[in-house]
Amino acid sequence: MLCSDEQRTDTLGCYGPVYGVAGNPVLRTPHIDRLAQDGVRFDRAYVPYPLCSPARASLWTALYPHQHDVLGNKREMRLPDGFRSPVAALRDAGYNTGYVGKWHVPGATPEELGFSDARALGRKWGRDIEEYRAYLRAKGYTLSPGSVENLTPREHSLLRGEDPPACGTAELPLHDYLEWWVTDRAIEMIEEASSREQPFFLVCGWNAPHFPMIVPAPYDTAYDPAEVPLPPTFVDKLDGKPEVQKSRPSHTPVQHLDPDGWRRLIAHYWGLVWLIDDQVGRITAALNRFRLLDDTIVVYLSDHGDLMGSHHLMEKGAWNVYEETVHVPLIIRDPRPSAPRGVVPQLVSLLDLLPTLLALVDVQAPQDLGGRNTLRLMSGSLDEGDEVVYGETMGLSERAEVDTPLPQDALDPSKLLVVKWLRTPHWKYAYYSTDLDELYNLDSDPGESNNLAADPQHAQTVQTFREQLLLWMERTGDPLLPQLRSRIRQEAT
C-alpha cells in the first residue's frame, strides 16, 4: 500500500486533465497510471475527514472518526472495547505486517493496530523521523530549530519571510530528500520479504505533496508556471458560504500572492506529485527485481486533498468539505488473471479499503467495522442500492498546533464548529453547527460555487439530508447525536 499525503485526484494522469477541464494539461504520472491501467481505478473515493490524523485513523480501523475519537490532529484514539483492527486480522492470518514512513495517528502505535514491523516512523507530525534527522546531521546539514518539517533556515525563510513566495527549491539534493529516503527504507523491507516464505502486507507512507512546497531539483522546475492554469473557482468570493472559510489562514501565508505567484506555487505542488510518482516507480521496480510484482497487490491512495487555489484557498481541515479536499485517488492493482479491471464509478469511502483488501486475500474481516467490502463494485455490479458516503470535521483541527492534547470532553456543538456531511451521486450537503450550511447540486455546479442551502426552493432537500445525517449518526453510535438532533429539530421549527 503506497500512501501519499494531501494529494488532489486531478493531479494523476489516469484521472484526466487538471481540474477535469478539457484542454488543461494532463500531469505526468506514468508509474501510478500504469497501476490504474492494470487494475481498478475508483473514480469517486472519499475520505471521512479532510485532515491527516482523523483520515489515517479511519483508514487503519475502518471506523468513522467519531467512533475512534481522533477528531483532530492531536486528539488521541479511543477504540471500542474489544476492537480488532483489519491489519491485525492480516497479521493473525500469517502476514508479516510492516510500516515505513508517515504514521501520524495520535494515541495509537502501529503495533497496537496490527503492524508487526514499523520502521523509520513519523509518529507525531509525520516528518519528524529521528532516524532521518540523524542521517541529515551525519551528512552535515543544519535544520531550523524546532521545525517539524526538516527545513533549513533558508528554506524556512521562503515560507515565513516578508512577502514569502510560499514555495522554493530544497537545499537537500534529491537522494537526501525525505521521500527518497523513506522509499529506500521500504525497498529494504521488500528485499527482506522476498527471502521469506511468509506473505507480507507493507505500507509506505510519504509526506509529499503535503505542504510546504519546498521541492528538490529537478522536480522544482518540472512544470513551467506560465503554463499552469488556475482553478476554475480561483475567483470565488465565498459569498453565501460559511464565514469560517473566509477567515481560515493557511499554515503557509498565501493570500498575498498574485496569480503568477499562485501558478508558481501550484507548479511546485505538481512537482512533488511527479516526485511521488517516481517513488512509486522505484517501489514497483524493486518488486519486479525481487520477483514479487506478479504476486503482489499494489494499492495507491492519499489521505485527503488540498484546495491549492480552488476557492482562492489552500490546504484542508475542519473548515470545508469541498471536493478538492475530500475526494481522493484510489487504485488497486491485483496481478491475478481473474482479478477485476477497469473503473468503479460508484461512491466509496476510505473506510471500505481494508475490508476490500481482506476480501481480496480471503481473510475474514473483524466484526463491527464501519467500512464495507467493495468487491462487487470492482467486479462491475451496479446493484448496491442508494449510493452515499458520509463524513465529518470539527473545529478541533483549528487548534491542532497546541502543545498538549485537548481534553476528551471538549466537544460542544453550540460553541465548537461541528460539521457533518454527506455526498450522493448528485448532491453534497454539509451541516455546520455554528455557521452556514452548504448544499450543492454537483451536476449543474461541480465547482461548488453556488450554495443552495438557504434557498427556500431547496428547504425540503436540506431537511431530508439532515434527517439522513441523523440516521447515520444513530447507526454509527455518534456521541454528539443527542445535541445535534436537538439543534436540528429546533432549527426546523
Report the SS3 class of residue 149. coil
Share of the chain above pLDDT 90, in %: 82
Q: What is the pLDDT of residues 9-64, one digit of tens each?
A: 999 999 999 999 999 999 999 999 999 999 999 999 999 999 999 999 999 999 99
CA distances in angstroms from 383 to 104, 110, 169, 200, listed in the order given:
37, 36, 50, 33
Which residues are CB-contacts of 105 (< 8 A; sequence separation ≥ 6)? 53, 56, 57, 60, 70, 77, 113
Q: What is the pLDDT of residues 186-233, one digit of tens each?
A: 999 999 999 999 999 999 999 999 999 999 999 999 999 999 999 999
Rounded CA Rg of the chain: 22
> What element of type H or E holds 299?
strand 298-302
Q: Please, which pLDDT band fits residue 401 given cuts at 50, 70 and 90? A: very low
- Kindly state the average pLDDT of the residues 1-6: 98
- Paired sense of beta strands 298-302 and 418-423, if any: unpaired
Domains contained in the chain, CATH given: 2-380 (3.40.720.10)
Which residues are CB-contacts of 477 (< 8 A; sequence separation ≥ 6)? 66, 67
Amino acid at site 123: R
Query: What gap in Å lies between CA 324 and CA 307, rounded to an integer?
Result: 5
Contact 39, 451 (CB under 8 A): no
- Paired sense of beta strands 427-432 and 438-441, if any: antiparallel
Instruction: Look up the pTM and report it.
Output: 0.96
Query: What gap in Å lies between CA 276 and CA 409, rounded to an integer?
Result: 39
Say yes or no to pLDDT of 438 above 60: yes
Q: Please, which pLDDT band fits residue 340 given cuts at 50, 70 and 90? A: very high
Composition of the chain by helix, strand, coil, percent to 5: 35, 15, 45
Report the SS3 class of residue 227. helix
Contact 237, 34 (CB under 8 A): no
Q: What is the pLDDT of residues 98-110, one digit of tens each?
A: 999 999 999 999 9
